[in-house]
Copies of this chain bind each other. A is one copy, B any other.
Amino acid sequence: MVNSNERVLARLRLHRGFPMHVIDPFKVPVAEAVEKAVAVRALGHPALIVASTDYDRFEERMPGYLRALKEAVDIPLILHFPPRRGAGFPMVAGADAVMFPALLGSEDDYFIWKSYLETLADLPRRGIAPDRCPELLLAAALTFGPDPICYDLLGTMPVDQQPGRLEFLAEVISLLRFDVVYLFSRYAAVAPETCRFLRDRLRPEQLIFVGGGIQTSSQINVHRDAGADFVVFAGALEHPDWRASLERLCPAPADLPGPARQIKT
């Protein structure tokens, strides 16, 4: 049976309030990815996301890439890729969990949630036994601001950040007991008010991730203070001087003000 234990989810629930890094395996060379994984592990990050909106030759590139990361760090590796019709969500052995985005703002029911069904029915063809399947993180995904890349790939329309629509979506997410709510904005920004509004209405066990355009520690703090459990950054480290950026973005735990200091890793 899939998801008979929820180890990664349990770990995330115990380590709320951390930033989290996303590595794009189709942009970042594997040696650099390993160094970054070691660096965020040392900062106490509870997991590492391996993700890309687009991907090519997944089956070729990913097994070795994941293996190298697994050998370097003991924190969970979470895949986060959009599904493709006819194949579902891509997966690879060695991943501890897979984010399954349900794109509630899509015009296409496949991307809204029916990709879940296809992926699960397709596991045997891919040689994945249900009890060896990475843990599924069922993630309602809301995208804000115009985003032609997501529209072309996934039919996603920007979600209106006004209370009426958010109230409805919060009620849907609560009813369907998604594990995660992933708030994303590629070009605009997730409003901290959106984060707070959802935090006040979702079930306490539901985790809020915020990502897209996170470049500064003050952005991280604003979202964390507004109720985000994890603030996710990717592009901020996609340059040679990434160590300096990481230091600015995520001060070492002893320097952190407030509650994050008390969270045990």
Q: Residues of A at under 8 Å CB distance from B?
A: 1-3, 86, 104, 109, 112-114, 116-118, 120-125, 129-130, 133, 136, 168, 171-172, 175-177
Q: How far is the CA of A143 from the CA of B195 in the complex (A)?
A: 34
Q: Within 8 Å CB of A104, what residues of B? A: 175
Q: Within 8 Å CB of A86, what residues of B? A: 1
Say whether, besides A109-B176, A176-B112, A121 and B123 are in contact (CB < 8 Å). Answer: yes
Number of copies: 2
Chain B: CB-nearest residue to A168 = B171
Q: Is the CB of A136 within 8 A of B117?
A: yes
Which of B2, B124, B129, B133 touches A130 (beta carbons < 8 Å)? Answer: B124
Q: Is the CB of A177 within 8 A of B2?
A: no
Q: How far is the CA of A101 from the CA of B122 in the complex (A)?
A: 21
Give the distance to chain B from A64, nearest Cβ to Cβ, in Å: 27
Q: Is the CB of B172 within 8 A of A175?
A: yes
Give the distance to chain B from A261, nearest Cβ to Cβ, in Å: 34
Chain B: CB-nearest residue to A130 = B121
Q: List 8 A-B contacts (CB under 8 A).
A: A1-B122, A2-B117, A112-B177, A113-B176, A116-B117, A120-B121, A123-B124, A168-B168
Q: Is the CB of B109 within 8 A of A177?
A: yes
Q: How far is the CA of A117 from the CA of B179 in the complex (A)?
A: 14
Say whether, besides A1-B86, A171-B168, A172-B175, A133 and B116 are in contact (CB < 8 Å). Answer: no
